[in-house]
Chains A and B, each alone.
Chain A
Amino acid sequence: MTANSPPRPTLAPVIFILVLGALLPFLLQSGFHMRLAMLIWIYAILSMGFNLLYGYTGQISLGQPAFYAIGAYGFAMLQVKLGWGPVPSFIGTLVVCAVVAVLIGLPLLRLRTHYLAMATLAFMLIQHGIANRWIGFTGGQSGIAIVPLQWGGETIGRTGLYFVVLGMAAAVLLLHDFLVRSHVGRAMQAIRDDETAAAALGVHVVKYKLRILVLSAVIAGVAGVCFTLTSLRVDPSLSEFHVLVSMLTIVVVGGLGTRFGPILGSVVVVLLPQVLTGFGELETIVYGAFILVFLLFLPHGLSSLIERRDFLAAFKARKPAGTGKEAAE
């Protein structure tokens, strides 16, 4: 092999991110800051699932917030309604997410691009309707409250809870990283770029798409469980449109189909509004302007600054020699 082939990615950045995450509770003072930190991880988990599905496999499913809500509701309802403990509820919730994903995936994955987006969006609206209107089942607007997580008879404090969420994020991050660097990740990218060519290379396209949809649904479910764990209640507001918008913003700002885009994007999307509160009523406009600037000058997201090869590629793609496909994205 020659010198101009890119170096093999290592686990070092993953470990760096996780060590930084583990140090955060000792650096942050207020409970509010800890809440923000947890929110970053929760959004990062949700967006990593979406990144696998859309960024790497090219399947634009807008149903992720619905699986997030199913995760959050399932975790609360299994505990409150069936009296299950947190661990069985957690596992049960993920099973529910996987089963629902298979059921909607089998018919919907035949659709491509915006048709798939519309169909999965409809799925999200159905879920939202159930959460809002089926009051006897979901608690309607007032939602469901759960008791805080306990360990050895004692309620786990904020720092402990943070480490639970961090642990979940770490598991998802390691899985995400392992997948995208393996032959599975390459098969996913082949499907994204050209399904026909991927099939011609021996990639089982339908099988892969369904597996990734299920995996991303389960990951969204994990994020939902984390949300319930930290907020101690679920209500329909969690699945409102803003979760979808935040998730889309995160993957675009962080960089679609990149290893660390979801985490970088989550940091920006959670913290930026806090920084911008000084602008008062103009906050939303300034926020929007920020996103526009990102899209114009960093079309491959924040990750492109870090993953240098992508940055060079992004730069090259601006020249006419780049492929038309990229320009369209």
Chain B
Amino acid sequence: MLRIESITAGYNKSTALDRVSMTINQGTLVSVVGANGAGKSTLVNTISRMVPSYSGRILFEDRDITGLKPADVVDLGIVQVPEGRQLFAPLTVTENLRLGFHRLARRPDTAAKYAERLDYVMGLFPRLAERAGQRAGTMSGGEQQMLAVGRALMAEPRLLMLDEPSLGLAPMVVDQIFDILSTLRKDGLTILLVEQHADEALQLADYGYVMAVGQVRAEGPGNDLRTDPALTHSYLGKPTETA
């Protein structure tokens, strides 16, 4: 579905992604793990065209999207849950969800479609239904992350990209978010998950990539990577005893 061919990208002169190649097949969950500064967020932002690339190609269903604007990428159905959530804090939960629906707002059957998406998202996150009228900025971190995921789902994505959804959340909430991702994957959604919590992210994944300093250092089925002692030691920073 998405094929990244030797993409190099970065900020001004510095290179954050160095000839990275990846493939995401339809209906799979692909996790990209690695330490801080490995280029994981840049990867997501390069796919969504928020960060320009210098060379290489990104093909979405065999169409080169490297020349597109961020909004065009969303139009194709590639929707991002940005790092740090980026909610509209003064707006209510419902208003944030409506903004997520922007991609579909020009369809002729928009009202029915909106009701359908809203039902779907509220069904996934009953908590959001309870808080429909509350301002996003006043909710807890976990609720905000659910809203960020819900907002992206409102657009009926074909490829959902999540950038560090566990950031700053309590372990129990992280589990909830990962449970939802597992459900979405079972429903057939294609997902690209970028995570520092390598173990959980790889456990969930059909396929995984390990990144370090802007390059892909290893790839393989999620569980293989997770149990490879050399990898966990050198790139995932997992000590033998957890602190």
Contacts and interface: CB of A to CB of B under 8 A. Distances in A.
A105 B74 CA distance: 25
Given A187-B99, A196-B86, 19 more contacts: A2-B129, A183-B105, A183-B106, A183-B110, A186-B99, A187-B102, A193-B89, A193-B91, A194-B88, A196-B82, A199-B70, A200-B70, A200-B80, A202-B79, A202-B103, A202-B155, A203-B71, A204-B72, A313-B90
Interface stretch (B34-42, B131-139, B164-172): B131-139
Interface stretch (A66-74, A131-139, A224-232, A315-323): A315-323
Nearest to B118: A1
B82 A197 contact: yes
Contacts of A201: 74, 79, 99-100, 102-103, 151, 155
Instruction: Pick the 10 closest A-B CB pairs, nearest first.
Output: A202-B74, A183-B105, A197-B86, A4-B133, A323-B137, A323-B89, A5-B132, A199-B70, A204-B71, A202-B103
Contacts of A5: 92, 94, 132-133
B75 interface: yes
A110 to B, nearest CB: 15
Contacts of A326: 90
Interface residues of A, number: 31
Given A1-B118, A194-B86, A196-B50, A202 B102 contact: yes
A198 B88 CA distance: 9
Interface in A203-255: 203-205, 207
Contacts of A198: 99
A163 to B, nearest CB: 35
Given A186-B102, A325-B90, A200 B133 contact: no
Contacts of A194: 86, 88
B151 A202 contact: no
B197 interface: no
- Range class of the B interface residue count: 35 or more
Contact of B86 (A187, A200, A317): A200
B186 interface: no
A325 B91 CA distance: 12
Interface string A181-196: 0010011011001101
A6 interface: yes
A1 B48 contact: no
Nearest to A1: B132
A21 to B, nearest CB: 30
Contacts of B63: none
B138 A321 contact: yes
A187 B232 CA distance: 43
Interface string A161-187: 000000000000000000000010011
B95 interface: yes
A6 B89 contact: no
A200 B82 contact: yes
B98 interface: yes
B130 interface: yes
A106 to B, nearest CB: 16
A197 B98 CA distance: 14
A205 B69 CA distance: 10
26 contacts: A1-B118, A1-B129, A2-B130, A5-B92, A5-B133, A6-B92, A183-B110, A187-B99, A193-B88, A193-B90, A197-B82, A198-B99, A200-B70, A201-B99, A201-B151, A201-B155, A202-B71, A202-B74, A202-B75, A202-B102, A202-B155, A203-B71, A313-B90, A321-B137, A323-B90, A326-B90
A199 B78 CA distance: 12
- Interface centre among A189, A321, A323, A325, by most B CB within 10 Å? A323
Interface string B94-127: 1100111111011000100000001000100000
Contacts of A205: 71
- Interface centre among B72, B100, B101, B133, by most A CB within 10 Å? B133
Given A197-B88, A325-B90, A183 B137 contact: no
B75 to A, nearest CB: 6
A167 B179 CA distance: 57
- Interface centre among A193, A199, A200, A323, by most B CB within 10 Å? A200
Contacts of B137: 321-323
A289 B185 CA distance: 61
A321 to B, nearest CB: 5
Interface string A51-79: 00000000000000000000000000000
A193 B136 CA distance: 13
Nearest to B103: A202
Given A1-B118, A4-B133, A196-B50, A203 B89 contact: no
